[in-house]
Amino acid sequence: MSEKRKFQAIKGTRDLLPPDTELWNRVEQTARQVFTTYGFGEIRPPIFEPTELFARSIGLDTDVVSKEMYTFADRDETSVSLRPEATASVCRAYIEHGMHALPQPVRLFYTGPMFRRERPQKGRYRQFYQIGAEIIEALQQGQGGSKDIPKDAAIDAELLEMLMAFFARLELHSVQLEINSIGDRNCRPKYVELLRAELLKVKDQLGQDSQRRIDTNPLRVLDSKLESEQAIIATLPRISDHLCADCAAHYAELKRQLDLRGVTYKENWRLVRGLDYYMRTTFEITAQGLGSQNAVCGGGRYDGLVELLGGQPAKGIGFAIGEDRLILSLQEAGKADVPKGRDVYIAWMGATAQATAIRIAKVLRENGFRVELPPVEQKFGKTLGQADKLGSRYALILGEDEIASGQWTLKTLADGSQTKFTEPQLLDFLRG
Ligand code: AMP
């Protein structure tokens, strides 16, 4: 006899099941609704891409690329990776389909699974889901430079307004938007050097990770959650004091534009993002009830990324919402109500009643009601018990008497009350 093997979902992955999937669908549907009102169209890029696409855009020194990607050699030996995020794919698609020739900027959103080999914990999975959006704008002749600042800042602010409108539509009010500017090619390298010099002075007071990052990526030290490092980090130089004139103007205009739109935010000078391609505007949204993994959304501006991937010079900004964490947060906040059970359970007995039951089930379903129709005849007692277990709102009782008189019995399961209806009366009643 062959040994019985129990299969289980791979560590860090999970099955999303009803009724939770109803909430997932509601969240994605809300994103579609809100984002389309801001002029976004949906893109569905593939789930795997050439490894090089991610290496070049996200950066070789990042944890995502150096440790966390699921990479394998395809049969023809090209290295491919499951996508750890989708911004690189969207930029690749923008270039591949010549979207620079469309009216600019191009606004795209996506939803779908991402893959990172991280240590699983609450709110952190190896297959997780993101809802993201990107605004990409090819630079036309004569464009670029200081005169674009008001337009760029307005685009950033509108994207953030849309994000907050999305959370508001979901009635998730406990979210907090944090913003920062991390400068650009002009001013950031000088700040990073200054930061490195300051960090070297306090090196032996820092933990191992931060010590390593002094070399590889000093900005990431600001991200540290290590208790013992907090007092030291508080004394480090702040990028806001070292922005070049254009970056400072962009950041000031962004804040003015957010005020104009009534978007509330908190400035967080320690907010640097883990991926290499960001510049100027960076932001994060945190939510309550998630423990240490409390970031539900991250994003920023990435002018130059499209060019880095072989396209015409272009600007860009985008975000990715962690849908798994958003769902957790909605559940914690008690905003996860989704219809459960059935609207109507049809308790029928007898061959003539079955014909009517089949017909009325179809009519009700066409009207959008969730209907349970038992496949075979059952005793009323059993059938009503089953209706209860399924969380049905009503039981429609169709026996010989009901069919003969044309007066059908509708039982409200919550209180056991019963009312007689003709078929048209029943439909009117259920439609409210
Ligand atoms: P990032 O692409 O790293 O900027 O992440 C954007 C958002 O995706 C984060 O704020 C999280 O909400 C979510 N996220 C990132 N990694 C994971 C993961 N391993 N598991 C669940 N959610 C994640």
- The pLDDT tens digits of the residues spanning 160-176 come to 999 999 999 999 998 99
Report residue 1's pLDDT band, with 50, 70 and 90 as the boundaries: low
Task: Supply the DSSP string of 59-110, one letter for each residue.
Answer: -TTSHIIIII--EEE-TTS-EEEE-S-SHHHHHHHHHHTTGGGSSSSEEEEE
| Ligand 1 pocket: which of 278, 325, 326 to mutate (most atoms within 8 A of CB) | 325
The closest residue, in CA terms, to atom 4 on ligand 1 is: 298
Probe target for ligand 1 pocket from 110, 116, 130, with the most ligand atoms within 8 Å of CB: 130
Which residue, chain included where needed, has tokens 């950033």? 156
Question: Residues 252, 154: contact at Cβ < 8 Å?
Answer: no
Name the phi and psi angles at 110, rounded to 5: -145, 160
Tokens 């006899």 correspond to 1
169-15-67-182 Cα dihedral, nearest 10 degrees: 0
Per-residue pLDDT for 141 more than 90?
no
Ligand 1 atom with the shortest distance to the CA of 299: 4
Residue 214 has pLDDT above 80, yes or no: yes
pLDDT for res 142: 76
Q: Which residues line ligand 1 (CB under 6 A)?
A: 85, 116, 118, 123-125, 128, 130, 274, 295-298, 320, 322, 324-325
The atom number, within ligand 1, closest to the CA of 116 reads 19
* Integer Cα distance of 365 and 383 in angstroms: 20
Q: Whose CA is nearest to atom 17 of ligand 1?
A: 124
Question: Would residue 332 be called left, alpha or beta, if left means φ above 0 and alpha means ψ between -120 and 50 degrees?
Answer: alpha
Residue 117 alpha carbon to ligand 1 centre in Å: 12
Q: How confident is the model at residue 202 (pLDDT cuts 50, 70, 90)?
A: very high
CA-proximal residue: ligand 1, atom 16 (nearest) = 124
With CA atoms as reference, report the closest residue to 274 among 239, 303, 298.
Answer: 298
What is the C-alpha separation between 13 and 115, in angstroms, rounded? Answer: 9
Task: Express as a percent the part of the chain with pLDDT over 90.
Answer: 84
Q: What is the pTM of this model?
A: 0.92
Pick the closest to residue 215 from 204, 200, 230, 205 (CA basis). 200
On the question of pLDDT at 257 being above 70, the answer is yes
Three-state DSSP at 306 gives helix
- What is the pLDDT averaged over residues 122-131? 96
